[in-house]
Amino acid sequence: MSTLIKNATIIDAESPFHNQKKDILIRDGKLEKIANSIPKKENYTIVELENLHVSCGWFDTSVSLGEPGYEERETINKGLIVAAKSGFTSIAVNANTNPIIDSKSDVEYLINKASNSPINLHPIAALTQKSKGIEMAELYDMQQSGAIAFGDYNKPIENDKLMKIALLYAQNFNGLVLSFPKNNTIAGEGIANEGINSTKLGLKGIPSLAEHIQIARDLFLLEYTGGKLHIPTISTAKSVALIKEAKKKGLNITCSVTAHHLTLTDDELHSFDSNFKTNPPLRTKEDVKALQKGIKSGVIDIITSDHNPIDIEHKKVEFSEAKDGVTGLETAFIAVNSVLALEDFINCFTTKPKGIFGIKNYSITEGNIADITLFNPKTTTIFTKTNILSTSKNSPFINKRLKGEVYGIFSNNQLIKN
């Protein structure tokens, strides 16, 4: 099988062809030739699209799929298709299923379900048994079976000693520990950012302090234990400052932010639309600006969709009763591309997350495996419900003008086009 990509602008700082417009010939899953012009042949599959750009394949570090247990929200097969058409060649899948992914066999189940897919599925196994935060799960066994990191999705580890032991133990096999940034005692029963909007709307607030206290605790523990810590989905200006200071100290700390926290504020809550109910909650304009600055400066390492499909029975209800979570794969790129320059954030989709989670990154260089995303960063569109590919439709970007278009991917010797 041979695929010829014509007139593509290559976006890959590690490639000798960075920012150059080239033809790319892929044969048997490898980048055989990259040149100014490659002649078309009858047996080639030709990809020739308006303002075509290609980069290393995108990697989403926080994707929730319903299966096993919540197939009505999203099956693994459907989720993989959504990821491919959204530009992702690799995804890290969270452990928030039923049963929780907390054993070797659970990890192997996920990997086997994705075999022969164009998408590389990498499980994030639970840090604690059944994600209850009481006893540590069998981390080493799960890593040997293919788990790339360990975390209880959207659940903080409240037991300080348990977190300390996890950071110490994981060092024995270079394991990556995730810690969700929320202090439940401070957050209480809050459902929205504590501030002017929550007060006006009569919604119980979650103060930023709940995030800051948890991050500060984790950083103190990391400084004591050593090891690798990743803090997923930060949401405040102070969190950026705390992590910036920790990095200056030389701590092995990384963090991510969601596409919706980079683009939306708690002003959206005036509609009481439960699609804007997220965990952590949407914050203020000042927080959004600080998060965007954190991407540009390199303090924030990763942008994730934090894709979490929720079925209509649990989402289209009163705001206070609705489950947290948004579908985000389809909009991750086009949302961020609407507020940031491509060169400021593309590494947060590609080389940075792969390096942190130990995933091989294939630069766009002759002889390498073809693992690429195809897109147009310039087009604009109104994102509507009909654009949602996921089984669940809980997107916060419905009817919003977004910038960019994903054309597809080439991965695992398969071309997927929209």
Question: Which residues participate in catalysis according to the annotation?
Answer: 306
380, 299, 296, 307: which is closest to 346 by C-alpha? 296
Given the structure tokens 């299966």, which residue do they identify? Answer: 67
CB atoms within 10 A of CB 321: 11
8-state DSSP, 153: T
Burial class (CB in 10 A: 0-12, 13-18, 19+), 41: exposed
Please tell me whether residue 20 adopts helix, strand or coil conformation. coil
Integer Cα distance of 400 and 330 in angstroms: 13
CA distances from residue 46 to 17, 53, 65, 93, 375 in whole angstroms, order as listed: 20, 15, 33, 32, 15
The CA-based angle 247-280-170, given to 5 degrees, is 50
Given the structure tokens 């995303």, which residue do they identify? Answer: 373
61, 96, 55, 125: which is closest to 304 by C-alpha? 61
